[in-house]
Structure 1
Amino acid sequence: MVADVIVGVSGGVDSSVAALLLVQQGREVAGLFMQNWADDGSGECRAEDDRRDAVAVCGRLGIPFHFRDFSAEYWRGVFEHFLAEYAAGRTPNPDVLCNREVKFKHFLDAARELGAQRIATGHYAQVAQAGGRWRLLRGADRGKDQSYFLHQLGQEQLAATLFPIGHLEKSELRRIAREAALPTHAKKDSTGICFIGERDFRQFLGQYLPAREGEIHDPQGRAIARHPGVFYFTLGQREGLNIGGVRGRPAAPWYVVGKDVARNILYVDQGHDSPYLQSHWLRSEAMHWIAGAPPAAAFECTAQTRYRQPDEPCTVNVRDDGTLEVRFAHAQRAVTPGQSLVLYDGMECLGGAVIAATDAPLEQRTRQPVSPERQA
């Protein structure tokens, strides 16, 4: 049997139900498990456990199981960029790159080699066709919607992709999995990045980026503590600062409000909504439009600058070089260079881009130039 659809089975409940629904629709289905991270000896990335669960699901559904090792492709296409961004003091989003470089590139190629016409995944998103083009839509469960991580997909990928669970609420999906006696029906959702797993993030990153201690300053430039390395921290972060009592300042939590990588200084301030964390404006790197082109040179829509953030109205200006200038209706907290700006028109995801710079007060003082390769 040559499968019509290859499902990316991850060993989780979402992809398990995606495969189940396709089988119930009468499709010729097979599963494919992707290994995206080579075992580094720590035992923290539980790929083998997930693989066994994926095999069990395929066995339960009576569909063929395939395996592909994409760890080398993941290293080149995702992890090397991940390290370079952290070394530059930015905060990358590896899930976005993994989708673009592995799940909807190498996985799609592997599925076609197996004779399939389409791939399917357990993402909470939806695809629709209208006006001669493919549209990426939010998942029906807004608390689980994953269109934010899929904004780099284009017309070719969407034309070949099914999201069988995009119309479901998570609670309904769990019920379906339980009633079908899927081996993964009670399995907890995975969180974080596979190659980090449950281990300490700072310890993991320290294996690849040597720690360089430096000073922690308040926004006025007064040294108040020391840090183990600026690239361990991101804007808005509270955990891990280990700042004790500071003379003349109240006993309130401190938050990261800026990073000066060149001088190896971490800036902090007190207050979750410190004015030093507020941005009204950002500039992006080159924008990826799902439709292939922007709706206009200037337009209004909504935006997210982080996953699960409420939609924020904004005005978008498309620059001649393909980058964007975006102004928000209200100040946004901790808009972080390296993270993704994703634009929406209602339920439709228009596309996204990496955030290059903002008008946050300290960024004006510490801004690093955007390299040509990041603009590409």
Structure 2
Amino acid sequence: MTSGDFQLSAPVSARRIVVAMSGGVDSSVVAALAARTGAETIGVTLQLYDHGEATGRKGACCAGRDIRDARAVCDRLGIAHYVFDHESRFRESVIDDFADEYLAGRTPIPCVKCNMGVKFTDLFRLARDLGADCLATGHYVRRVMGAEGAELHRAADPARDQSYFLFATTSEQLDFLRFPLGGMPKPRVREIAAELGLLVAGKPDSQDICFVPDGDYASLVKKLRPTADTAGDIVDEAGSKLGEHKGLIHFTVGQRRGLEIGGQAEPLYVLRLDAATRQVVVGPKRALAVAAARITDINWIGGNHTGPLTAKVRSLAKPVPARLDGDRLVFDQPEYGVAPGQAAVLYAGDRVLGGGWIAETERAQSALAA
């Protein structure tokens, strides 16, 4: 077992590493790798939400279970473990934002907002308050030292890569962060956990947004914003009514299922959501073709890079050739399923150059002419 990416300037005996621990196998192995360096290692867990309240099941405190798992790992490794209550901050900056974005007809990505705020900003402050030399996390990305300093790169295992969710990481944060798992495949991480006798070695990975463990986003939004399920019309681009819907929160750009509109010459897809009129605008797949997108709040960590780049506009999409012209991201070829509210992340090969939030899109001429 290697100690991973923990290069620090201080002698080992003087080092202090803070590890962000969620109670899962990834962060637990990071803690083990940190402890193996000989540095003082401290596990920190943020209590972000009440799982029982999120699911409506009394006594189902997942946050409590995960905290217990993290503490058990720290006890096994012989390191300190602290828990900090950030539930109110998480609710305001992540959960409320999630609900409001859906109400505005956009498709939110709460994991990015969490990393931008509660996880990195707040954990940075906590780690520094604890006198740490670095903050280590279980994210599957790589921190590579380049000519201009620390760079953010995709994980070695493409199936596990989480770089899309970390585009808002700043250069200052990269100097302080460590990602020991970025060069490992997930099976090896579980092997390390099993070798160390950690009870979380076989713990399943979370598949949904953490505060919506059952995947029912609409129910959560309705609970937070009772007007979210207000019905409206499903219309074509000419404004002709084709059907009705039970709330914008049930739809996102590019969606085909759930429209329940029959008798059409070709399949229909969601083209856009109009929060003002509560209309779901639909059309054929070719109408989804986008030539460019305006992006806001651009975070650039690409240094002096001026060469070709690729852009990824959904977490599961492949990066495609594009260019950045001010705040306009122009695609070499029409791109589909580009939704306001999502992130556009920019790459040069495996290196993350930065990214921003998709505010609006420009239809491809081929789609307009169809």
TM-score under structure 2 normalisation? 0.88
**TM-superposed deviation, 1:38:** 4.0
2:137 matched residue in structure 1: 121
Deviation string, structure 1 residues 271-315 (Cα, Å, up to 9, x no partner): xxx012211211111311125x6634xx53011001132120112
Contact 1:143–1:308 at 8 Å: present in 2 too? no
Q: Please, which moves more after superposition, 280-289 or 39-48?
A: 39-48
Write the distance in 2 (CA, Å) between the matches of 1:340 and 1:248: 32
**TM-superposed deviation, 1:316:** 1.5
Give 1:312's aligned amino acid. V
Match of 1:6 among 8, 13, 18: 18
Deviation string, structure 1 residues 196-230 (Cα, Å, up to 9, x no partner): 11152211111122121011123443322211112
Name the SS for the 1:286 alignment partner: strand
Query: Residues 3 and 193 of structure 1: is their aligned pair in 2 closer, same or farther, counting only changes over 3 Å?
Result: farther
1:282 matched residue in structure 2: 293
1:52 matched residue in structure 2: 68
1:374 matched residue in structure 2: none
- Comparing both structures, which one devotes a greater share of its residues to helix? 2
Give 2:247's aligned amino acid. G
**TM-superposed deviation, 1:110:** 1.0
2:29 matched residue in structure 1: 17
Match of 1:146 among 140, 145, 162: 162
1:225 matched residue in structure 2: 243
**TM-superposed deviation, 1:160:** 0.8
Contact 1:45–1:194 at 8 Å: present in 2 too? no
Match of 1:350 among 340, 353, 356: 353
RMSD: 2.4
Give 1:235's aligned amino acid. V
Write the distance in 1 (CA, Å) between the matches of 2:321 and 2:315: 16
2:305 matched residue in structure 1: 295
Query: Residues 206 and 39 of structure 1: is their aligned pair in 2 closer, same or farther, counting only changes over 3 Å?
Result: same
**TM-superposed deviation, 1:355:** 0.5
Write the distance in 1 (CA, Å) between the matches of 2:349 and 2:263: 49
Match of 1:37 among 34, 45, 49: 49
Match of 1:184 among 200, 205, 211: 200
Which aligned pairs between 1:267-278 and structure 2 lie closer than 5 A?
Answer: 267-269=281-283, 274-278=285-289
**TM-superposed deviation, 1:25:** 2.5
Contact 1:6–1:30 at 8 Å: present in 2 too? yes
1:27 matched residue in structure 2: 39
1:312 matched residue in structure 2: 320
2:7 matched residue in structure 1: none
Contact 1:3–1:30 at 8 Å: present in 2 too? no
Identity of aligned residues (%): 36
Give 1:290's aligned amino acid. I
Name the SS for the 1:166 alignment partner: coil
Show structure 2 runs of 5+ residues with no match: 1-12
1:172 matched residue in structure 2: 188
Query: Residues 239 and 66 of structure 1: is their aligned pair in 2 closer, same or farther, counting only changes over 3 Å?
Result: farther
Name the SS for the 2:331 alignment partner: strand
Write the distance in 2 (CA, Å) between the matches of 1:361 and 1:231: 26
Give 2:291's aligned amino acid. H
Write the distance in 2 (CA, Å) between the matches of 1:199 and 1:248: 30
Query: Residues 204 and 2 of structure 1: is their aligned pair in 2 closer, same or farther, counting only changes over 3 Å?
Result: farther
Write the distance in 2 (CA, Å) between the matches of 1:339 and 1:280: 16
Contact 2:193–2:201 at 8 Å: present in 1 too? yes
Write the distance in 2 (CA, Å) between the matches of 1:87 and 1:98: 19
**TM-superposed deviation, 1:255:** 2.9
**TM-superposed deviation, 1:45:** 6.5
Deviation string, structure 1 residues 174-198 (Cα, Å, up to 9, x no partner): 2222222211111110122222111
Query: Residues 109 and 156 of structure 1: is their aligned pair in 2 closer, same or farther, counting only changes over 3 Å?
Result: same
**TM-superposed deviation, 1:339:** 0.4
